Chains A and B, each alone.
Chain A
Amino acid sequence: MGLILAIVFAVGILILMYNSLVAKKNQVDNIFASVDALLKKRYNLIPNLVSSVQEYAKHEKNLLEKITDLRSRAINPAISEAERVSIDKEMTSMLKSIMVAVENYPNLKASENFMHLQRMLSEIEEQISAARRAYNQAVTDYNNAIEMFPTNIMASFMHYKRKALFSIPEDEKINPNIKDLFN
């Protein structure tokens, strides 16, 4: 009798561990999907940005070409997760460069269309930032579970591997100066 109870108890624990690992992995995938959706939203704003800046800032052709290139790479569905992460990083820094460059064109800065665009980009950047942080929390929970005892044993049976974090651009960790440029 006691033996049967012990076995049932042990099986129960195994099921709990298995399910908890699956839940954590799914949470990571879930949030990555949201991150992806937000990244797409950002990429969709790029053409509008490029055309408004082009009108006023003829000298920034180089920068604009680069960002258009980057965008076409980004919307290609065939790229890997890791590539997506690195493109996001490049895109973020490129957008910042454009916003700095725009400082030299007061007419552009004052145009209705551009100001509206600026607000949208600002909002989307903050949402992406939030999504990255949420993703990193999910990944940390997952990595913890597959590395800590006793769930690490179960995890190796399930062939779960450690996942990489999204790197957060340094200046998002403190109140970024670039955002004050918008005010």
Chain B
Amino acid sequence: MKKLSELMNFYYDKIYPQVETLENDRKKVLFKIKLSIFICIFIAIAIITTSYYIGLLKKGIDPIYWAMTIPLALYGILYKLIISDYRNDFKDEVIQKIVSFLEPTLKYNKNGYIYKEEFIWSNLFQKRIDRYSGNDLVEGKIGETNIKFSDIKAEYKTTSKNKTIWHTIFRGQFFMADLNKEFNGRMVVLPDSAEKLLGGIGRFLQSHNPDRDKLIKLDNPEFEKEFVVYANDEITSRYILTHSMMQRILNFKKKSKKEIYLSFRNSKIFVAVSSKDMLEPNPFKPLNDFDTIKEYYESFKIVVDIVNELKLNRRIWSKK
């Protein structure tokens, strides 16, 4: 466990000296982005004025709609182009160092991500996946526990009237690790939206969910309020979800302040933490500010801490 003071030392030692070139790049990038915004606003105004100018001749074209969508799309494309090199440099220099500092045994691969098969196998999200991508893969061993995690974006599409709409299945960090207990079953712990909204009826609907295993009712009221659990066996599910484990999961949820999903399958644990892609360098934030670096560090730390939070390194049972 690294203390804040150690992080500061690390920052001034390793990051700050290197940061000047990158910081200059960032300023150039920021300038180009501001320029793009200006250009896009200009285009928006241009579209509105020209379409009103020729509006008397052409009908059926809504100028406001086009004045918003075209510049927005253009901005999106320009942003990606401008930030691409800076992003790669940032990841190679800053993120790599942060990960090594967090835990020297961890390896960082900015383009890697958890395999789609593993994601599907966790059984957390059952919708058919039409588009799957990710980045910022970290893998290694913390104590006795092998871990692997990355950012993941999984989507499905619906088509209507020649328009394709993409919907997010999951977006955030996806973590997987060895479980410290032998477990041959299947269990998922999902955020409990139904019970929160509908109370008893919600509970009834949950217990009759055809896509999932049996509903397991647990003996911790706070846990039951936050999560709904489906598993294929009443006993093995409680073997994993002991009172202390349920408490740890609750604590982790409170600490992370995000929606979390857990799955346990064949002695592996999967944790999905919903969030926006956090590892993208924000060109509006200066790199020579310790707080910026601290933010990146913390977004990693919270995932790596799953091992400690859930005490996955506690090997007092038959699994070593």
Contact = CB atoms under 8 A, between A and B. Distances in A.
A133 to B, nearest CB: 5
Contacts of B225: none
A137 B217 contact: yes
A interface: dominant SS: helix
A130 B238 contact: yes
Interface stretch (B68-76, B143-151, B239-247, B284-292): B239-247
Contacts of B1: none
Contacts of B4: none
Contact of B239 (A130, A136, A174, A175): A130
Interface stretch (A4-12, A83-91, A117-125): A117-125
B316 A179 contact: yes
A131 interface: yes
A86 to B, nearest CB: 21
Given A119-B316, A119-B318, A182-B316, A137 B239 contact: no
Interface in B166-224: 181-182, 217-219
- Interface residues of B, dominant DSSP: loop
Contacts of A179: 316
A134 B181 CA distance: 18
B183 to A, nearest CB: 11
Contact of A137 (B219, B243, B314): B219
A126 B219 contact: no
Nearest to B315: A119
Nearest to A134: B234
A123 B319 CA distance: 9
Given A126-B317, A173-B243, A175-B244, A136 B235 contact: no
Interface of B: 181-182, 217-219, 234-239, 242-244, 314, 316-318
